Amino acid sequence: MTIRILLADDQHLIRAGLAALLNLEDDLDVVHQLPDCTGVLEAIREHAIDVAVLDIEMPDVDGITATGQLTEAFGDDVAVLILTTFGRAGYLQRAMAAGACGFMVKDAPAEQLAEAIRTVHAGGRAVDPVLAAEALSAGSNPLTDRERDVLREALDGASVKHIAARLHLSAGTVRNHLSSAIGKTQTSNRAEAARMAQQNGWL
């Protein structure tokens, strides 16, 4: 039986190269490609997709958000495999929590990716072993959803006033969330906290 695959990646050359490599496998068929995860639900319905292979960092709808949407819409009928350049323990934890069945990095050999697709299609899990070990040692994401929101806004150096306006919060509430996040990340200021949270894949 041929496994029907959807690829979503905003880097055209990488996406095309992956499709070409996967299509060399007799039992794999990349039937649709997307530059991000906008419209992924409709594409999966239209093309009868078995496995969605998604990048994480893409414009508009990212891979982890899309994973949650796919899990809610299709349950176990469509397996999601995250394939990313960014091997971060926090990304792995968030992806699996959203319903992904697999998590691989892009520098993995093509045959390893093909085998991972077969594994998740069969109902198993396929996770990069190095990342799995890192995720276990790193522990869970300590940040609340709102703390993640304010740190995400702080990444570009926005002031408390601007963060408050963007998130429709009071300046005092933003300061409280930032202070809590700085404490949890054991950093000195909001810029350091935001960078650490991003590096760990918590945002």
**Hey, where are the domains in the chain?**
3-135, 145-199
Q: Domain 145-199 classified CATH 2.60.40.1180?
A: no
CA distance 106 to 152: 25
Report the pLDDT value the prediction gives residue 142, as an integer from 0 to 100: 84
* Percent of the chain that is helix, strand, coil (3-state, to 5): 55, 15, 30
Q: Are strands 102-105 and 126-127 parallel, antiparallel or unpaired?
A: parallel
Report the pLDDT value the prediction gives residue 54, as an integer from 0 to 100: 96
User: In terms of Cα–Cα distance, which of 164, 162, 165, 160 is closest to 182?
Assistant: 160
For residue 156, pLDDT over 90 is answered with: no
Counting beta carbons within 10 angstroms of the beta carbon of residue 38, is it exposed (0 to 12), middle (13 to 18) or buried (19 or more)? middle
CA distance 83 to 106: 6
Q: What is the pLDDT of residues 27-71, one digit of tens each?
A: 999 999 999 998 999 999 999 999 999 999 888 888 999 999 999
Q: What is the pLDDT of residues 191-203, one digit of tens each?
A: 888 888 887 778 7
Enter the tokens of residue 7.
Answer: 């690829």
**What string of DSSP letters covers 47-105?**
HT-SEEEE-SS-SSS-HHHHHHHHHHHHGGGSEEEEEES---HHHHHHHHHHT-SEEEE
Q: Who has greater pLDDT, 137 or 151?
A: 151
Q: What is the pLDDT of residues 92-141, one digit of tens each?
A: 888 888 999 999 988 888 899 999 999 999 999 998 877 766 665 556 77
Q: Is 76 left (phi over 0), alpha (psi -120 to 50) or beta?
A: alpha
Report the pLDDT value the prediction gives residue 33, as an integer from 0 to 100: 96
Q: Which homologous superfamily is 3-135 in?
A: Response regulator (3.40.50.2300)
Query: Which residues, at least 6 apart from 188, have a Cβ–Cβ distance to it below 8 Å?
Result: 182
Q: 107: how many CB neighbours lie within 10 A of its CB?
A: 8
Report the pLDDT value the prediction gives residue 138, as an integer from 0 to 100: 57
Q: What is the pLDDT of residues 158-199, one digit of tens each?
A: 899 999 999 999 999 999 999 998 888 888 888 888 888 887
pLDDT mean over 16-26: 94
